Amino acid sequence: MMNGMTKQNYTECNRLNNRGNKMKQTKLEKSLMEQLNALLEVDAAEAEITMAARGIVDELQDVIEKLGKIQNDQIGPLSDEMAYSHGPDKAGVFKSSVDDAIDSLLGQARSAKDAVQDATLVLSGDKVADDMSDVELGGDMGDDMEDDITADFGGDESASGEESNPLGREERA
């Protein structure tokens, strides 16, 4: 063999080298597996949290459906029975009051559900946090601007100066 190495020494060196490589490979595999397990645990924890948040959205949807059932399936028949026992006026007042209260509660429940759903979408990465494209601002601002533009401030027209010089002073050069 080369460099004065016997076949037996060469074989022994190869065996030790292979054994060292296998130990390094085993350590590397173990390290990679630990890192992979850590990532999977984080992913599992994040998924569990996201599922819990989606569960809240589902529960709020259930509340909305229950309120709708009360409003549609129970209030009408109850007010009909009430009209016979307490009179139509009292039944009408009761139905109107309860309908208004449930409508208000339904609106709040829908808003809460939408807010939680948006937060859940942001949490899961399905929506950008500052995306306000679906936010609806109430009313038409054009109506408000027209009122501002045509507003009469009650000033004295005669104090404004001539029509050609409404500020009452000469223009700067």
Per-domain residue ranges of the chain: 13-129
pLDDT in the model for residue 173:
61
Residue 90: predicted pLDDT: 93
pLDDT of residue 32: 75
List Cβ<8 Å contacts ≥24 apart for 32-40.
Answer: none
**Residue 87: its pLDDT value, please?**
93
In the DSSP assignment, the letter for residue 172 is: P
Give pTM, 2 decimals: 0.52
Q: What average pLDDT values come out for the chain (173 residues) when binned by 10 residues? A: 63 66 71 75 80 92 94 92 93 93 95 93 81 50 53 55 63 65
User: What per-residue confidence (pLDDT) applies to 171?
Assistant: 66
Give the pLDDT score at 104.
95
Q: Cα separation of 63 and 116, whole Å? A: 14
Distance separating alpha carbons of residues 11 and 22, to the nearest angstrom:
16
